[in-house]
């Protein structure tokens, strides 16, 4: 499937415009291409209890689930000035959980795979049927 990076950036910018960031004043938008051709997006939503704010990637993954699921194949994230942002560690793990192998991310240092930005990640691919049952003891 061809990835239209300009279309992903435009969707991330549109999502960023809906961010709720009254505390940090740092709006973030994210967009991703799904394996069925859809684009899903999300924005950050802050909270007065600072630590319980939601990153744009959280909204994106929620949107993915709400609109039919699937696997993410390409990802783009922007700040309020439309600059590329790199997902934090927590969000890299969240994206990994919902990505296909080799998902591409537009990063501040070029396009990278999810495995490059989260090396040696642990996730659903490691949980083969019956994993753990033989290992208990």
In a domain, 113, yes or no: yes
Rounded to two decimals, the pTM is: 0.90
Q: Averaged in consecutive runs of 10 residues, what is the pLDDT profile of the chain (137 residues)?
A: 96 98 97 98 95 95 98 98 96 96 97 96 76 46
Among 46, 57, 82, 97, the one annotated catalytic: 57
Encoded tokens for 26: 């740092």
**Which residues fall within 8 angstroms of residue 124, CB to CB, at 6 or more apart?**
97
In a domain, 73, yes or no: yes
Is 116 one of the annotated active-site residues of the chain? no
In a domain, 133, yes or no: no
Report the domain count for the chain. 1
Helices (H), 20-112: 56-66, 89-97
Find the CATH number of the domain harbouring 45. Answer: 3.40.140.10
Residue range(s) defining the domain that contains residue 47: 5-126
In a domain, 14, yes or no: yes
């Amino acid at each position: 499937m061809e990835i239209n990076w300009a279309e992903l950036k435009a969707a991330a910018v549109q999502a960023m415009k809906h961010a709720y960031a009254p505390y940090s004043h740092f709006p973030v938008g994210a967009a991703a291409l799904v394996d069925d051709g859809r684009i899903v997006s999300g924005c950050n939503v802050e909270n007065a209890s600072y630590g319980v704010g939601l990153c744009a990637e959280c909204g994106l993954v929620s949107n993915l689930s709400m609109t039919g699921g699937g696997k993410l194949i390409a990802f783009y994230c922007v700040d309020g000035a439309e600059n590329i942002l790199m997902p934090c560690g927590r969000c890299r793990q969240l994206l990994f959980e919902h990505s296909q192998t080799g998902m591409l991310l537009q990063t501040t240092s070029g396009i990278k795979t999810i495995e490059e930005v989260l090396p040696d990640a642990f996730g659903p691919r490691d949980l083969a049927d019956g994993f753990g049952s033989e290992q208990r003891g």
